[in-house]
C-alpha cells in the first residue's frame, strides 16, 4: 500500500477495499460516498465521467451494507465502487462511445460483464469518457470533450480507456472495465 491509501481509502486497491468491508472496517455507504465526493470535486477538471448515477450507487451501497449486517453470503467485490467505460452497456446509463451517432443511447440491460461484476457485489458509480468510437490515441470526443490526466491537466490519458484511467488514478473509482478486462 502507498502513503495515499493509508489516509484516503479511495486509493486502496479494490481487493483491499473488499477485505476491509468484509471485516467491517469500512462501510460500503461510506466508501461509495467518499468516491462520489471525490468525483464531485475532481470530475469538473478531469472530465473522466460522462454519467454518474449517485442515487443508484447510494441505494446499492445501502443494500450492500444491509447484506453485510444480515450475514448473507458476500461476493468477492462486495461494496467496491467501480466505473465502466461508456462503450459497455450498463442499464440506464449512457453508452455512447463518445460519438454523436449514439448520442443519448442508454441500454435497458447490462452487458454480461457488468451483470457479473454486480453479482460479485461491485457497485457501479457511472460510466467514463472515451475517444470517439474508441478509435484515437487520446481521450477526446465531440460529445463530452477531452479527459485530462490527473497528473498533468495539459495531457490526456491515451487510448480508448482514458476516462477509466483518469478516474482510477484520481481515486474516483476503485477499478473499472477497459475493453473486456478489469483494471484497478
Q: What proportion of the chain, given as a percentage, has pLDDT over 90?
A: 89
Q: Is residue 9 part of a domain?
A: no
Cell of 43: 470530475
Backbone dihedral angles phi then psi of residue 175, each to the nearest 5 degrees:
-175, 170
Containing structural domain, residue 85: 26-183
pLDDT higher than 50, residue 176? yes
Averaged over 8-26, what is the pLDDT? 96
**Which pLDDT tens digit goes with each residue over 23-63?**
999 999 999 999 999 999 999 999 999 999 999 999 999 99
Under the banding of pLDDT at 50, 70 and 90, the label for residue 119 is: very high
CA distance 71 to 65: 10
Provide the CB-side half-sphere exposure for 83 (13 A, CA). Answer: 34
- In this prediction, residue 184 carries a pLDDT of 57
d(C-alpha 170, C-alpha 167), whole Å: 5
Q: Quick check: is 125 in a domain?
A: yes
Does some domain include residue 21? Answer: no
Helices (H) and strands (E) in the chain, counts: 6, 5
Any domain includes 93: yes
CATH code of the domain in which 76 resides: 3.90.1300.10
Q: Are 58 and 32 a contacting pair, CB within 8 Å?
A: yes
pLDDT band for position 14 (cuts 50, 70, 90) = very high
Instruction: Classify residue 113: in a domain, yes or no.
Output: yes
pLDDT tens, position by position, 65-104: 999 999 989 999 999 999 999 999 999 999 999 999 999 9
**Is residue 142 packed enough to be buried (19+ CB in 10 Å), middle (13-18) or exposed (0-12)?**
exposed
* Residue 165 domain flag: yes
User: How many domains does the chain fold into?
Assistant: 1
pLDDT confidence of 3, banded at 50, 70, 90?
Answer: low
Task: Return phi, psi of residue 141, to 5°.
Answer: -155, 170
Q: Supply 13's cell numbers.
A: 486497491
- How much is the pLDDT for 78? 98
Query: Alpha-carbon distance 49 to 163, whole Å?
Result: 6
pTM of the model: 0.93
DSSP, collapsed to helix, strand or coil, labels residue 51 as strand
Residue 18 within a domain: no
Residue 51 inside a domain? The answer is yes
Alpha helices in 71-154 (DSSP H): 112-119
Amino acid at each position: 500500500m502507498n502513503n495515499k491509501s493509508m489516509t484516503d481509502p479511495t486509493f486502496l486497491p479494490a481487493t483491499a477495499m473488499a477485505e476491509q468491508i468484509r471485516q467491517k472496517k469500512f462501510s460500503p455507504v461510506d466508501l461509495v460516498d467518499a468516491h462520489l465526493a471525490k468525483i464531485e470535486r475532481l470530475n469538473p477538471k478531469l472530465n473522466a465521467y460522462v454519467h454518474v448515477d449517485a442515487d443508484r450507487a447510494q441505494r446499492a451501497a445501502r443494500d450492500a451494507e444491509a447484506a453485510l449486517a444480515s450475514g448473507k453470503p458476500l461476493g468477492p467485490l462486495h461494496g467496491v465502487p467501480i466505473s465502466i467505460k461508456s462503450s459497455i452497456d450498463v442499464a440506464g446509463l449512457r453508452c455512447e462511445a463518445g460519438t454523436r451517432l449514439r448520442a443519448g443511447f442508454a441500454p435497458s440491460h447490462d452487458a454480461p460483464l457488468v451483470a457479473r461484476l454486480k453479482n460479485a457485489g461491485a457497485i457501479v458509480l457511472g460510466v467514463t469518457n472515451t475517444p470517439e468510437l474508441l478509435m484515437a490515441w487520446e481521450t477526446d470526443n465531440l460529445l463530452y470533450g477531452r479527459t485530462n490526466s490527473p497528473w498533468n491537466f495539459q495531457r490526456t490519458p491515451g487510448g480508448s480507456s482514458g476516462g477509466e484511467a483518469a478516474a482510477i488514478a484520481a481515486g474516483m473509482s476503485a477499478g473499472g472495465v477497459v475493453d473486456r478486462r478489469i483494471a484497478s
